[in-house]
Structure 1
Amino acid sequence: MVAANLTALSIALGVCIMGGFFLMIMFALVSANKPRPSVPGSAVLVVDLWMNISDSPPETNLGDVVDQAVYGPEVPRLSLLEVVDGIERAARDERIEALFLYGSLIPENYGSGIAALREVREAVETFKASGKPVYAYAVDPTMRDYYLMSVADEVILHPFGLLSLNGLASEMIYFGDAFKKYGIGVQTTRVGKYKSAVEMFTGSKMSEPDRLQTTELLNDIWGDILGDVAQGRGLDPVQLRALSDEKGFFTGEMALSADLADRVAYMDEVIGLLEEKVGYDPDLESFRQIGLADYVRIEGFSGGYRYGGNQVAVVYAEGDIVDGEGMRGQVGGDRLARDLRYLRTNPDVAAIVLRVNSPGGSALASEVIQREMREAAEEKPVIVSMGSLAASGGYWISAYGDRIFAEPTTITGSIGVFGLFFNLEGLASEHGITFDGVKTSTYADLYTVSRPKTEQEMALVQQYTDFLYDAFIDKVAEGRDLSDEQVRRIAQGRVWSGTDAVGIGLVDEIGGLGDAIRYAAGQAGVADDYTVTQIPERKNFSQALEEFLQQTGEQAPVVKGRGDLLTQAMKRLEAELAVVRSFNDPKGLYARLPYSLEIR
């Protein structure tokens, strides 16, 4: 009887779960096919910054839909091209009379970086140059928020808000002592005195070469940020730097006194200001407006694949470079190589733009991608656009581009290689676990985690590490038309800002993704008549459903806001562990930035 009741209960629960699942699918289908909003006349384009601006188009899967139904909405996402194109279209749209920025960015993974925000900022400047006003309202703006808002005609702060202009910091996390304590052995190889990525696993603090390069990099980026903010606010950059060093944080009244803001007001007062500007919408009970996401859906960059000739295809390398296909948020070497191969052989594609926003990763996967870049460049223009990060393996895949564009704040270079190997001998021994076995050859168990590698084995790995480093040097020299000596002088694993990279020959020109696209079209001879396509493209709901039925995954719910201290700490730890999970190079050798180089 008990067994029968349990069986009946299990069946009932299964029916409820499946019923709820299909209800969520129906709800998502209805939501996906709801009528498009319309753009009212005399409207304000509202840019709600509570979002993540990714380089690549957001990829939606059914897992996301289920998570949103269960846990609530995730962080909204728009791609860089969608945001820029939407704002620039609005500048020419007679129905749009003003632009309103508000909220606070929620960066995720490699999104909302300073380089991407600079392109958005330039789009806002284009809107402003059209003669239409730009308003910005912030309650508690971060440095990124204010960097974007500072170009507005009128910056308005909440009376009890706090503006952050406190500079940049890079904080590393080190596991060396913890690994020793718990009996986890770490052995490394590397080439390049600045190639500091392994120090995260072997040390307890920054090495002096790493401290030097990171300090100089942050100073370069901070100088560019202050220069842009000073220009937007009509201030002197030197005085602005002194003000940042002296105070760092500004209340509304302090910001007014320092000319960092134009007005202090509550949100209802700002709404009233905009109602006076464009009029009142009784349906919204607010000023006449259209949100950027809705406007992009109606008027802006579609992001979908277009058939026909004269295509400039933008293909994205955003995330850690890994061997194989890769997961969401990663650059799978095989997958990206396949995309490049398809674009190379597609007669409708006139030119290719590779947008790189990656700290690097697997050396083997980087070479797999670079091979297809070289092949494509033999048949059509191949241009590289660097986002916030294009370093180490990210530079490896870029080196053969016909022309490389970067932003001043792009982090690039890091030409170096390292090997990383863990063993569990100490941890296992402490818990009474032992290993034993047989082998046919000296190096048959080279990659075992049951013991440390011998000196002879490590010498062999170091030999291959040196080979990869020399190959990296040769490829950069050939791709950039530099001498071997020139490349070795700027390599050693050192990172450079985009501005410095131009000076040393690693980058050709300062410019954004739009500049790279226009240049590619010109090189292909289609500047007057071309369309832009993106790879990967946005998936519609039916595609996401089909993909979900083939494979499932889990994604943690996202809360709108920065979260409490414990949540922030857990997210940081999860991010570090996600990096470790990306170590899948078959030889254990990587061309990657320092793992936890977090600039904030």
Structure 2
Amino acid sequence: MTKLIKNLWYGLDLTRKIILNLVFFLLLFWMIAMIASTGDKPSVEKGVALVLQPQGYIVEQLTYRDPIEVATQEATGREEPPETSLYDLIDAIENAKDDNRITTLVISTRYLWGSGVTKLQDLAVAIKDFKESGKKVIAYDDNYTQGQYYFASLADEVYMGHQGGVFLTGFSRIGTYFKSLLDLVGVNVHVFKVGTYKSAVEPYIRDNMSEEAKEANKAWLGDLWGDFTQNIATHRSLEVDDISAYINDYKESLSTYKGDSAKLALEKGFVDKLMSRIEFRDYMIDLVGKDDDLRSFKQISHKSYLKAIRGPFPYVNPRTDKVAVIIAKGTIVNGNQKEGSIGGDTVSNLIRKARLNDKVKAIVLRVDSGGGSAFASEIIREELVKAQQDGIKVVASMGDVAASGGYWISATADEIWARPSTITGSIGIFGMLPTFEKPLNKYGIFRDGVGTTKYSNPVDTGLPLSQDVADIIQTGIDAGYEKFLQIVGEGRGMSRDQVDAVAQGRVWSGAQAHKLGLVDQLGSLNDAVKSAAALAGIEKYDTWYVKRKLSEQERLLTELFGNGDAKEQLAGYVNAPKQPGLKSKMLEQINASLRELDIWNDPKHAYANCFCSFQ
């Protein structure tokens, strides 16, 4: 027995030493990484070109990715779609305007997979301001997709490869529908909704888009496309009719030019000159000089530039008045969530953090969300109302999408700002519960039991949904819709019937919403911040982006394994993130429709959600 106790004690002591040593070395590695990172600050050489080369998708807020998972994915070649922060791009442009070390701005769209229209419009404002410094803006790519071309069209000079083309397609709203598949496997989808135009549930109860959904979608898509084409026409000194003719006559024009899409784009005024990569590199070397190490022109990426001009830690002056900016991006779900989703508790805590800071005089809620949980949406809105009661002005600024739950959390703000191309409205609510008793029974799996009341097990996905429970859920959905109408009416100064007339789940463009009174002003986030300061009566203030504080474990892992952001690229075009192929795109479209079901966790199964993405 004595020997056994000694062995156990020896084992415990050894385990303790191993754990302590492991913690020690982890902390040591972290300190080394911190020291190395502070000493690895890039320098900005005089006369360089600032290269904007966004990778993947331009987003309001970078999605949090577990550093260990990211490192594992990189090792196995299974990387998530990269993201580039919109505000990093804008910050780099704004600083470079007055930086005499930066002579030129180069736009490279090669690794840009996609961006919402409002984000491109925000970039357009920053680039227009940059041009006022007298510095040149140049764009180059081998080929331009529609979104890439909008970004490139902001430049003074647009160049393209000899084998390229500018392919503009217009906007579309295409969904994936599962009704026949669900019928085939015997899944019962129980739907509860209010709103003629509330089409978020259609993929599960139809095999095609309803006429009501088509009507609404055509209206807002038309508004967005009109705004998009007018912007390009202005950037390139073209007429909107020129763009329409280019698209509608593309097949015939391409035949006339014997399939030379690059020459067609050049002749129609969409690009200024055709250049190979070698020719463009030589052109830029003549313009800004040569970097022998890169074997290319003198350049710095926007990420390296920001690293060079920013301090190692963000600083918030405790003595100045502030306009707090809180970003709400993603699907609204209950509880705490990391960046990429809007957790009702997470965003409420950020609002509370700003509200309890006596230097915060106004809060701007930046919304980029199609909605989600009605319960979580109300938790967020209630915290904003409390801030208003405490004398803090609240302004909502809408990005690409602020619809359904995204509109819910915005509705009672003192002022609502949107872009004409914002997708908003969708004032409606629905519930959906699938049950799988038929496919389970088919394979010999049955569920049965007893309870103390008829509601002891109200929702069981392996049993049929009782009519009583269905009636209870529908009553809750009806009440939720009335609550939504009440909230919008109070915030917008409208009667219940006036709100109902523009609600019913219908989606509107920002321009239409402005005319209908659902939006107060049209403009950017910067416009909203200035307006919030004016409403609060402050002239001198700092803009404070209120963010979730990383845990000690998250900070340690981030330093050890990297932050999970997309790898930095220069204009040398190396180690490019691979764009998804046709098979991957098809699977992603299907997965995107099903992925929403995984994160729906509203306690009453009531959702204010708008599946209003487009391409």
TM-score by length of 2: 0.87
Match of 1:259 in 2: 269
- Deviations 1:510-543, CA, capped at 9 Å, x for gaps: 1111111222223333333x22222326869975
User: 1:39 aligned to 2:54?
Assistant: no
Change (3 A) 1:538 1:256: farther
Shift of 1:312: 1.9
Match of 1:417 in 2: 429
Match of 1:9 in 2: none
In structure 2, give the amino acid aligned to 1:42: G
SS state at 1:117 partner: helix
Kindly indicate whether the alpha-carbon contact (under 8 Å) linking 2:55 and 2:84 is maintained by their aligned counterparts in 1. Answer: no
- Distance of 2:274 and 2:197 partners within structure 1: 46
SS state at 2:107 partner: strand
- Equivalent residue runs for 1:558-569 within 5 Å: 560-569=577-586
Match of 2:499 in 1: 487
Change (3 A) 1:300 1:259: farther
- Distance of 2:565 and 2:443 partners within structure 1: 34
Match of 1:132 in 2: 135
Shift of 1:322: 0.4
SS state at 1:428 partner: helix
In structure 2, give the amino acid aligned to 1:296: L
- Distance of 1:69 and 1:414 partners within structure 2: 39
Aligned match for 2:321, one of 284, 291, 310: 310
Match of 1:360 in 2: 371
Match of 1:7 in 2: none
Match of 1:230 in 2: 233
Shift of 1:548: 10
Kindly indicate whether the alpha-carbon contact (under 8 Å) linking 1:82 and 1:303 is maintained by their aligned counterparts in 2. Answer: no
- Distance of 1:270 and 1:244 partners within structure 2: 27
- Deviations 1:442-461, CA, capped at 9 Å, x for gaps: 22222121223233332221
Moved more, 396-405 or 511-520: 511-520
User: 1:202 aligned to 2:196?
Assistant: no
Equivalent residue pairs, number: 575
Shift of 1:489: 0.7
Match of 1:10 in 2: none
Match of 1:8 in 2: none
Kindly indicate whether the alpha-carbon contact (under 8 Å) linking 2:113 and 2:579 is maintained by their aligned counterparts in 1. Answer: no
- Distance of 1:87 and 1:474 partners within structure 2: 42
Match of 2:343 in 1: 332
Match of 2:54 in 1: 49
SS state at 1:448 partner: coil
SS state at 2:463 partner: coil
Moved more, 193-202 or 513-522: 513-522
- Distance of 2:431 and 2:73 partners within structure 1: 40
Change (3 A) 1:349 1:215: same
Kindly indicate whether the alpha-carbon contact (under 8 Å) linking 1:105 and 1:145 is maintained by their aligned counterparts in 2. Answer: no
User: 1:117 aligned to 2:120?
Assistant: yes
Aligned match for 1:291, one of 285, 298, 301: 301
Change (3 A) 1:363 1:258: same
Shift of 1:298: 2.5
In structure 2, give the amino acid aligned to 1:80: L
- Distance of 2:565 and 2:454 partners within structure 1: 43
SS state at 1:567 partner: helix
In structure 1, give the amino acid aligned to 2:174: E
User: 1:461 aligned to 2:469?
Assistant: no
- Distance of 1:344 and 1:504 partners within structure 2: 31
TM-score by length of 1: 0.89
- Deviations 1:190-218, CA, capped at 9 Å, x for gaps: 10000011111111000000011111111
SS state at 2:166 partner: strand
Change (3 A) 1:541 1:443: closer
- Equivalent residue runs for 1:541-556 within 5 Å: 543-545=554-556
In structure 2, give the amino acid aligned to 1:330: S
Change (3 A) 1:484 1:431: same
Shift of 1:62: 2.6
Q: Considering only aligned residues, what root-mean-square deviation do their CA atoms show, in Å?
A: 3.1
Kindly indicate whether the alpha-carbon contact (under 8 Å) linking 1:417 and 1:468 is maintained by their aligned counterparts in 2. Answer: yes
Kindly indicate whether the alpha-carbon contact (under 8 Å) linking 2:48 and 2:299 is maintained by their aligned counterparts in 1. Answer: yes
- Distance of 2:240 and 2:313 partners within structure 1: 38
Kindly indicate whether the alpha-carbon contact (under 8 Å) linking 1:57 and 1:536 is maintained by their aligned counterparts in 2. Answer: no
- Distance of 1:118 and 1:537 partners within structure 2: 27
Shift of 1:266: 0.9
User: 1:570 aligned to 2:573?
Assistant: no
SS state at 1:394 partner: helix
Q: Which structure's CA Rg is the greater one?
A: 2
Identity %: 35
Change (3 A) 1:51 1:567: closer
Shift of 1:162: 2.5
